[in-house]
Chain A
Amino acid sequence: NAGVTQTPKFRVLKTGQSMTLLCAQDMNHEYMYWYRQDPGMGLRLIHYSVGEGTTAKGEVPDGYNVSRLKKQNFLLGLESAAPSQTSVYFCASSGLAGSSYEQYFGPGTRLTVT
């Protein structure tokens, strides 16, 4: 099993450009998450999904959109990138309620917005 994969690994955008980050998991997990990691701030939840076709806002959703058209994929979109969105983005997944709840993380996408 590949676990959680993310593409791309690195990306440089200019202010105002758009892009989509792709997350895929092969563990049949219901829950999927997008986080951003900034120095000294831990992980902050951007958006999450509790199942195929559902998404919801997390702690810092502004400037991002998400979609979960298939259970195994969770896409994060930036419609008009800003320098404040320079960060490392992590996708994670976890199992159903009643399971152990630990999250499995992808390797991350390092995004720089100039």
Chain B
Amino acid sequence: AQSVAQPEDQVNVAEGNPLTVKCTYSVSGNPYLFWYVQYPNRGLQFLLKYITGDNLVKGSYGFEAEFNKSQTSFHLKKPSALVSDSALYFCAVRANTGGFKTIFGAGTRLFVKA
């Protein structure tokens, strides 16, 4: 069965510091992995994805994520956090073995302090 774990409910970081939001997954076969961001009272917005190829994926707003097959992880990173990055972040996984179902993690709230 597919599953996604975001082990931290909340991450606090100072503006200008690097940030990491963690995600681990379990899926049969090769995974399709995604990060989404949700700002208050808004729907989720797609940030980046890993389908195949280079393990380091770059996305919107300066975010990147590193796919690690051996650790089944897909951590979201940014070299220098901004206050405007404060939001709720969701990791999601989809199996590439057919079907459509995407499983979302519970979400991690990121607070960036000025």
Contacts and interface: CB of A to CB of B under 8 A. Distances in A.
Interface of A: 4, 31, 35, 40-43, 45, 48, 50, 58, 90, 92, 94, 100-108
Nearest to A30: B100
A48 to B, nearest CB: 7
Interface residues of B, number: 21
Contacts of A92: 43-44
B106 A31 contact: no
Nearest to B51: A100
A104 B46 contact: yes
B22 interface: no
B102 A105 contact: no
Contacts of A103: 44, 46, 102
Contact of B32 (A40, A43, A101): A101
